[in-house]
Chains A and B, each alone.
Chain A
């Protein structure tokens, strides 16, 4: 760290000389390289068969990708694809509901002045501070009393409320829905619901897409909640599925190639999503930046 910050001084001179700033460029490329190592490794390792995995050089491509793919698909009658579908369902449906709930809640907190607004807002935000397991264990015990533990609901319902989503929508609503427009619509006799659904929601759309993405990634990546809630591996999301596969691999190293191929397939959808979406959606929106 220290040498890098010190050399930033040469950057100053370089910038003055109107040339490429090499030090920042180098630092950024090193950072990119570090972040790419495991991804490049998993891409290459997924092409290796069992013996190649432990014998050939790490970054030398192997010859078994299609075999690994068909082994993975055959494993327990294609349970891997079931896990992928489950993850897509939990993340997609959960994020959609989350965006809808955050839209209404954040809109109320951002565009109305009412008694108890700040108290409600702070209370919901404080939810961020509660350690996930403090909620997950009693949620599991309560849901099992209702006979809902180990069900799709037990994964979906606790994932809907997103304090961060409510917070983001509140910011977007306050910044992007003009009070004059709401007032004008009220004068014209529009109901509050109509103002919300026809005026506010379209105007808050970039923010809602951000909440959707944020929550999609959050649910897709969640490990603790399914680990606590689910026992039936037919309902597992991909994270928990691959974990159990690895845990078995400790005694059957043959499963390692399946785990590695599975890891690659599991990260492709999200990486693809980000690569596609960054063309028309700015990363900065994630941190609540209003001007995109």
Chain B
């Protein structure tokens, strides 16, 4: 397997341990020289991780890239053994992906959805985290647990539950709208559909992000606040001028993971599909890839699309990391 070259190339470098990147935890200087076997210990401990990484990450990616560069060639009427063979297709599948308007639309939909989900979810997560961190807020432990609870609910089940709550016959919201004689929007239609999906994601994701931000808030030494209060800062000032800048790295991290999750939206539209008519089976990028691979049986085109999506994710990630890096550096200066 591919784990062999990975492990092998690392083992050849065990010798001098000249790598200066070992930070504070370096135990090298005090290790007795005669214990040669201790040197290989970290590699042994890494064997399961690297084997799984090779088998379930590196090889599948390699295979996907290989598939993306091939296509199937059918000889004659395509029956019998050997009638279908895989042939080199170069970048043919990739030019098809770029011309594929269905995939393009699915990416645009994912961006539109992300534009609603990410600011709302992170805004709420930050708001709740700041409120939890306010002294004298009652019922904070209860609220913290309740807001986190949706994390324990599988995305597909959350989507099923909300799906029922969107159905006019079942929903309490429609019941209330009806009582007050207000117009009843169709939550499965057009632009509302984005809000419907976004609500499910916000419901499921706010709690986890809140915990991440709240943990960062609690790590701030309280004397900073004391000093600020003596200087006459209000709680709002403390939140805006001290807390938010200090937790900025956590915000960047949650933003980063939210963007990646947005590109991969799959469960919510899949779950609501049976409840609606006319939701295209390629609504989101992941759905478009699944659709191509298994419903249209075009694993070559699907692989090329998947590779494009992965590359786009990488480019986006590194751009975001670069921007956030510059931002936090300027902030420190």
Contacts and interface: CB of A to CB of B under 8 A. Distances in A.
Contacts of B38: 186, 192
Contacts of A186: 31-32, 35, 38
A278 B146 CA distance: 12
A118 interface: yes
A159 to B, nearest CB: 9
B314 A129 contact: yes
B143 A28 contact: yes
B309 A134 contact: yes
A121 to B, nearest CB: 10
Interface string A1-21: 100111011011111001111
A287 B211 contact: yes
Interface stretch (B15-23, B85-93, B100-108): B15-23
Interface string A54-92: 100111000000000000000000000000000000000
Contacts of B149: 35-36, 39, 271, 274
Nearest to A37: B165
A138 interface: yes
Interface string B122-134: 0110011011101
A138 B28 contact: no
A160 interface: yes
Looking at A39, A116, A270, the one whose CB has the most chain B CB atoms below 10 A away is A116
Contacts of A124: 49, 53
B153 A120 contact: no
A239 interface: yes
B10 A31 contact: no
A31 B143 contact: yes
A157 B146 CA distance: 33
A27 interface: yes
Contacts of A105: 45-46, 48-50
A1 B21 contact: no
Nearest to A38: B161
Contact of B57 (A161, A187, A227): A161
Looking at B131, B203, B214, the one whose CB has the most chain A CB atoms below 10 A away is B131
A212 B30 CA distance: 34
Given A28-B143, A131-B263, A114 B17 contact: yes
Contact of A53 (B144, B165, B170): B170
Contacts of A54: 169-170
B152 A104 contact: no
B169 to A, nearest CB: 5
Interface string A147-173: 000000000011011000010000000
Interface in B102-152: 123-124, 127-128, 130-132, 134-140, 142-152
The secondary-structure label for the interface of chain A is helix
Interface string B255-274: 00000100110110011001
Given A11-B134, A38-B161, A116-B10, A224 B266 contact: yes
Contacts of B208: 286
B106 to A, nearest CB: 12
Looking at A13, A34, A37, A287, the one whose CB has the most chain B CB atoms below 10 A away is A287
Interface in A119-140: 120, 123-124, 127-135, 137-139
Contacts of A161: 49, 52-53, 56-57
A16 to B, nearest CB: 9
Which bucket holds chain A's interface residue count?
35 or more
A45 B162 CA distance: 12
Contact of B131 (A24, A115, A133, A274): A24
Given A11-B134, A12-B236, A274-B149, A242 B156 contact: yes
Nearest to A36: B146
B92 to A, nearest CB: 19
Contacts of A198: none
The secondary-structure label for the interface of chain B is helix
Contacts of A270: 152-154
Interface string A277-292: 0100001101111000
A205 interface: no
Contact of B155 (A117, A123, A223): A223
Contacts of B215: 284, 287-289
A254 interface: no
B329 to A, nearest CB: 20
Interface in A167-220: 174, 179, 182-183, 186-187, 192, 196, 217, 220
B45 A137 contact: no
Contact of A114 (B43, B134, B143, B271): B43
Contact of A129 (B142, B218, B236, B317): B317
Given A25-B138, A104-B47, A286-B211, 17 more contacts: A1-B123, A15-B134, A28-B132, A31-B146, A35-B203, A38-B165, A41-B165, A124-B53, A131-B264, A131-B286, A134-B310, A135-B60, A137-B289, A186-B31, A242-B157, A250-B275, A273-B152
Rank and list the top 3 A-B pairs by shortest CB-CB distance, nearest first: A113-B22, A105-B49, A28-B143
Interface of A: 1, 4-6, 8-9, 11-15, 18-21, 23-25, 27-29, 31-32, 34-39, 41-42, 45, 53-54, 57-59, 100-102, 104-105, 107-118, 120, 123-124, 127-135, 137-139, 141-142, 157-158, 160-161, 166, 174, 179, 182-183, 186-187, 192, 196, 217, 220-221, 223-224, 227-228, 238-240, 242-243, 246-247, 249-250, 256, 259-260, 263, 266-267, 270-271, 273-275, 278, 283-284, 286-289
